[in-house]
Chain A
Amino acid sequence: MNDTRPFPSETDIHAWVDGRMDVAGCVRMEAWLASNLRRAEEIRGWQRDAQQLRAALGGLPPAAGQRTLDPTMIRARRRRRVRARIAMAAVLVLTLGVGMVGGWQARRMAAPAASAPMADALQAYRMFASNRHLNLDVTQHEPGQLQGWLRQHFRNAPRLPDLDGAGFHPVGARLLATDSGPAAMVLYQNAEGGAISFYIRPPSPSHGVLPRGQRRDGQLVATYWSGNGYNYALVSPVNASDVRVIREAAFPPSI
């Protein structure tokens, strides 16, 4: 069958050049080259070029820098990025959520209220304190966990306010987005299921450093202050059993 086809085919020639031809083929090829001197000169040149390329460029890159490309490292980096993406997705969902709640609130409340200090802290409380664990990014299983989480997301993160005196303990937190950067809400709960939230956010263009203060908004009261480059608020229902403890947590005598 082979003999009916013209020899050598283009594939035969390359196979010979690249040393991929069987012995019988090579014998046949050499015979053909011997009687076709002009083509032979070119084809032998191809072979010489290929050998020289192999000699010149056949070396492998130095191993320096290869460690970062190890599958284990790649996997670890990927895991980190996926986690970051999930956090980002949560933030986006939340932005939409807060946007919607914000829109709803703005419709319900007088417009100036939306731009009052720490309006977003109150919105976040309304959104998450009523939905609790459903919407939290992280829940505390052991003491200090949320403090660590906060430190991970906020440089110079402050100590979480201590509301033990009022019977409230941190249970979970949620990363949020503001127009000035990431914010977070840490949810505290007491044995009766009451909720207080601690809110941290970067200062906004309209509200830079906040003087210590408190304001009421509907059934909620926000106690706010600034420090470490962030604005904070503790949000609780107006009828919270121990407003004094909250005030003390927000404005400890040492500050």
Chain B
Amino acid sequence: MRDPTFSDDQLRELLPRLRRFARWLTRDADSADDLVQATLERALIRWGSRRDDAALRAWLFSIAYRQFIDDKRRARRHALMLELLGRSAPAEQASVEREVVAQSVVQALERLPDEQRHLLLWVSVEGLSYCEVADLLDIPIGTVMSRLSRARSALRRLGDGEVPRTTVLRLLK
């Protein structure tokens, strides 16, 4: 039998990383927590067999990602509707990354398309395996590799000529 306390502890432990993952997607702290909440609600409903931490993390991320894509689609439809009604959609939210003390590589990352930005964050910062990324995006692993190459080249081009700095970086909240 599954021990629910243990499961909740597992979830709690992963919560900060799930929040960070959501912030990367939404680029806004408040909407990120809304996304985390929606993700956990789904996760708690579908919670079946107990998973080890790595599998649980990948599973939570995939729920969050799918939810995010759904939300975005809905928002796009909504924006389209507003446009049809002759009103403009609300401006994009300020990015979380923008709160980080400026550094060339972060600035370069910001200028990448979402798809490439997510990929680099997932692989380089979150440390998701290539397989996990392939599952998350529902694409073959070979495609992950070629996209990763393109993303890394693009980041290089944008941040090119910058000498790595030793500035101490911190999140401003």
Interface residues of A, Cβ cutoff 8 Å to B: 10-11, 13-14, 17-18, 20, 42, 45-46, 48-50, 52-66, 68-72, 74-75, 77-78
Distance of B67 from chain A, by nearest CB (Å): 14
Contacting pair B173 A56 (CB below 8 A): no
Q: Does B145 contact A (CB under 8 A)?
A: yes
Determine which of A13, A45, A72 lies in contact with B156 in the assembled complex, contact meaning CB atoms within 8 Å: A45
Contacting pair B145 A53 (CB below 8 A): no
Complex alpha-carbon distance, A57 and B106, angstroms: 8
Q: Is the interface of A mostly helix, strand, loop or mixed?
A: helix
Interface residues of B, Cβ cutoff 8 Å to A: 7-8, 11-12, 15-17, 19-20, 23, 29, 32-33, 36-37, 40-41, 44-45, 97, 100, 103, 105-106, 108-109, 120-121, 123-125, 127, 129-130, 141-142, 145-146, 148-149, 152-153, 155-156, 159, 164, 169-171, 173
Complex alpha-carbon distance, A250 and B138, angstroms: 66
Residue of B nearest to A12 (CB): B145
Complex alpha-carbon distance, A58 and B11, angstroms: 20
With A50-B124, A57-B106 already in contact, 20 other A-B pairs whose C-beta atoms are closer than 8 Å: A11-B130, A13-B149, A46-B155, A50-B120, A50-B123, A52-B164, A53-B124, A57-B121, A59-B170, A60-B16, A60-B17, A61-B16, A61-B19, A61-B23, A61-B29, A61-B32, A63-B16, A65-B29, A71-B8, A78-B41
Distance of A42 from chain B, by nearest CB (Å): 6
Contacting pair B44 A10 (CB below 8 A): no
Please, which residues of chain A bring their CB within 8 A of the CB of B11? Answer: 71
Contacting pair B152 A17 (CB below 8 A): yes
Contacting pair A56 B123 (CB below 8 A): no
